[in-house]
Amino acid sequence: MRTIIFIIRKEFTQIFRDKLMVRIIFLIPIFQLLILAYAVTFEIKNVRFVTVDHDRSTLSGKLINKFNGSAFFQYYGNAENYEEAVQLLTRNKADQILMIEPDFGKKMNTEKRGKVQVVTNAINGNAASLMSAYATSIINDFNREIIVEQNPTGFSGFPIDIKPRFWYNPEMDYITFMVPGILVLLVTIIGMFLGGMNLVKEKEIGTIEQINVTPIKKFQFIAGKLIPFWIIANIDFAIGLVVAKFVFNIPIVGSLPLLFFVVSVYLVVILSFGLFISTVTNTIQQMMFITWFFVMVFILMSGLFTPIESMPQWAQIIDYFNPVAYFVKINRMIMLKGSGFFDIQKEFWILTAYGVVMLIFSTQRYRKTA
Amino acid sequence: MSQRKNIIEVTNLVKKFGSFTANDKLNFTVPEGEIFGFLGANGAGKTTAIKILSGLSKPTSGKVIVAGYDVSKYPNKVKRNIGYMSQQFSLYNDLTVRENFRFYGGIYGLSNKAIKDKTNYYLNKLEMQEYGNKLLRSIPLGWKQKLAFSVANMHEPAVVFLDEPTGGVDPITRRQFWELIYESADLGTTVFVTTHYMDEAEYCERVSIMSEGKIVAIDSPAELKSKYGVDTMDDVFVSIAR
């Protein structure tokens, strides 16, 4: 135990002596949170729409105004014909085309039905479906207004009125959804890189050889490398929570002690993963490259940006081995839903087992002899 | 001489890297308290052997006993009883002199008081008291090597292994370094040293000379010189090691 304390003390002395390192450890996470939380959003604003109004009646003008009045749409102007509108889409001047048939207003009056066509640029499928949904909802709204206008007494609304309620994040606020995930990203990067980099640096400069001729035990060495960064990452997580709470007003519904308890276990998984990589590599370059590969795959597949449920089956199977996915899930559950230990216990025990295995791996792989 | 017990016993030591034989059946013993020079041209297999003796590397076959323990079976017991200083500098440049002493002292299990006393003792001896709180990177190479030697001796090991400790060090500092070696040998520590400086070989009680993985000569410098009919160790080395 005393040996481990000597190593920890040495690590902290070295970390805090390196001013750049201190800045990296404590300032970058804050910036990361501030920038990513605002930037990483799927909300669509300012959809540029162009109209092809073949009708030019009061009614078609009303519909266009309806679009124009919405916060999501920005009116680009009216095109003479469909071809011209498509040109605008191709040249990326507009995102969506609203075509109104000739005699739209007249038909609405006489036949009680009219036709409009919506064409959406679907290069980004996600954005396209959102834009299309916005447009549809505006047209539906418009439809309802006309029915009420023309038949003020007889209309009692649609037989079924769907009013969606969004639980745990009632405003459907992306920042609320993203910030707990970004907090995970933050401790993951700190955990995966710092411990491993530190170990492989000793290999590169050769000091590890001097350590290896001492009677130090493998687990003492690994513990001495893990604990300092475990403490630092916990502090980073705490800073992140403070920023989340006071800058983004993210409600932290669940229990803080439970949150920190889970983070502590998660960090053992991530740190030993990084240390394991550093025991099988010899240079910082090799270590960084391999670690980066895992971090990328883990984060992109973690459900942070895209829901795991919509990934293909094989990808979901791979995700059983993705510690980040478990923690993103747990973190959102605790922070946004206020889940207790009972609700997260499955994910928690998997993480615990993962941590034990990785710890054994990294300790065993660390060779004191060549 | 003969009643001194052997602190290092190497029997038929072989180390192979694939088809390359770095150490080919080495046999030698080193008695307690001796300054033993381990010579050889670059690539002769010295570093490989010294790594095996200090438990950093495992022998392919053969038996190595250091400080009473078989290196393959009880590497940690051996490590507790040896000091090691490698040719590449191995103290931490971003720690101060005192912090380096404290770290290695702590790892060897010295008490806080012992660490403090030893640190002061060595700083006094090296006349470096005012450098105690300086970062190691700000200290000249020769002084660093003397510090590294002191750190390697801090836990009072039975044997210290020095792998080219004076490479790149100026002649005056080299002489001071050898004074340190003599002092610690007087206190009973066995010194196992590799070097390319033949004047340093003259300082050793006995030397062995390796060539292509084999020990081709082993004796005192005086005996070797008379055996090969030359005046200097330089000439001995050239005639044996090519």
- Write out pLDDT tens, residues B45-95: 898 999 999 988 899 999 999 999 999 999 889 999 999 998 776 899 999
Number of domains in chain A: 2
- Rank A137-141, B89-93, B188-192 by mean pLDDT and report only the highest: B188-192
Closest CA in chain B for residue A16? B94
Residues in chain B: 242
The verdict on A177 and A140 lying in the same domain is: no
Rounded percentage of chain A residues whose pLDDT exceeds 70: 91
Tell me what the pLDDT averaged over chain A comes to. 86
Q: What angle do CA B174, B8, B202 make, to 5 degrees?
A: 30
Task: Classify residue A159: in a domain, yes or no.
Answer: no
Question: Contact A67/A73 with Cβ under 8 angstroms?
Answer: yes
- Asked if B88 lies within 8 A of A217 by C-beta distance, the reply is no
The verdict on A179 and A302 lying in the same domain is: yes
d(CA B119, CA B105): 9
The verdict on A197 and A257 lying in the same domain is: yes
What's the rounded mean pLDDT across residues A310-338? 90
Residue A15 region by backbone torsions, left for phi larger than 0, else alpha for psi between -120 and 50, else beta: alpha
Q: In this predicted model, what pLDDT tens digit does every residue of A52-103 receive, in sequence order? A: 888 888 888 888 888 888 878 888 888 888 888 888 888 888 888 888 888 8
Q: Tell me which chain A residues have a C-beta less than 8 angstroms from the C-beta of B57.
A: 369-370
pLDDT of residue A57: 86
The verdict on A211 and A90 lying in the same domain is: no
Task: Classify residue A162: in a domain, yes or no.
Answer: no
Task: Classify residue A160: in a domain, yes or no.
Answer: no
d(CA B148, CA A241): 45
Q: Quickly state the pLDDT bin for B108 (edges 50, 70, 90).
A: very high
The verdict on A218 and A343 lying in the same domain is: yes
Q: Quickly state the pLDDT bin for A206 (edges 50, 70, 90).
A: confident
Laid out side by side, the sheet with B61-66 consists of: B20-31, B6-17, B61-66, B69-70
User: Is A247 a residue whose pLDDT tops 90?
Assistant: no
User: Is B185 a residue whose pLDDT tops 50?
Assistant: yes
Closest CA in chain B for residue A201? B92
Please give the ipTM for the structure prediction. Answer: 0.88
- Asked if B84 lies within 8 A of A210 by C-beta distance, the reply is yes
Q: Quickly state the pLDDT bin for B138 (edges 50, 70, 90).
A: very high
d(CA B218, CA B232): 16
The verdict on A109 and A219 lying in the same domain is: no
Q: Tell me which chain A residues have a C-beta less than 8 angstroms from the C-beta of B51.
A: 370
The verdict on A229 and A250 lying in the same domain is: yes
The verdict on A36 and A51 lying in the same domain is: no
Task: Classify residue A210: in a domain, yes or no.
Answer: yes
The verdict on A269 and A177 lying in the same domain is: yes
A33: helix, strand or coil = helix
Task: Classify residue A184: in a domain, yes or no.
Answer: yes
User: Is A164 a residue whose pLDDT tops 60?
Assistant: no
The verdict on A129 and A19 lying in the same domain is: no
What's the rounded mean pLDDT across residues B221-241? 88
pLDDT of residue B84: 93
- Asked if A209 lies within 8 A of B108 by C-beta distance, the reply is no
What's the rounded mean pLDDT across residues A212-218? 90
Task: Classify residue A155: in a domain, yes or no.
Answer: no
- List, in sequence order, every beta strand (DSSP E) within chain A: 47-53, 73-78, 96-100, 116-120
Rounded percentage of chain B residues whose pLDDT exceeds 70: 98
d(CA A151, CA A174): 40
The verdict on A278 and A227 lying in the same domain is: yes
User: Is A220 a residue whose pLDDT tops 90?
Assistant: yes
Q: Quickly state the pLDDT bin for A114 (edges 50, 70, 90).
A: confident
Amino acid identity at A102: P
pLDDT of residue A159: 46
Task: Classify residue A137: in a domain, yes or no.
Answer: yes
Laid out side by side, the sheet with B35-40 consists of: B82-85, B159-163, B190-194, B35-40, B206-211, B214-219
Tell me which residue range forms the domain holding A357.
2-40+171-365
d(CA A256, CA A238): 10
Amino acid identity at A357: V
Q: Tell me which chain B residues have a C-beta less than 8 angstroms from the C-beta of A214.
A: 79, 104, 107-108
Alpha helices for A247-322 (secondary structure H): 256-280, 284-300, 313-318
**Boundary (domain end) residue, out of A118, A150, A182:** A150
Rounded percentage of chain A residues whose pLDDT exceeds 90: 36
pLDDT of residue A228: 95
Nearest neighbour of B94 by CB, restricted to A17, A213, A216: A17
- Asked if B56 lies within 8 A of A14 by C-beta distance, the reply is no
**Chain centre to alpha carbon of residue A341:** 23
What's the rounded mean pLDDT across residues A291-307? 90
- Asked if B94 lies within 8 A of A18 by C-beta distance, the reply is yes
Burial A184-203 (b: 16+ CB within 10 A, else e): bbbbbbbbbbbbbbbbbbbb
User: Is A341 a residue whose pLDDT tops 80?
Assistant: yes
- CATH number for the domain harbouring residue A75: 3.40.1710.10
Q: In this predicted model, what pLDDT tens digit does every residue of A1-53 receive, in sequence order? A: 889 999 999 999 999 998 888 888 888 888 888 887 777 666 667 888 898 88
The verdict on A8 and A58 lying in the same domain is: no
d(CA B242, CA B28): 22
Task: Classify residue A240: in a domain, yes or no.
Answer: yes
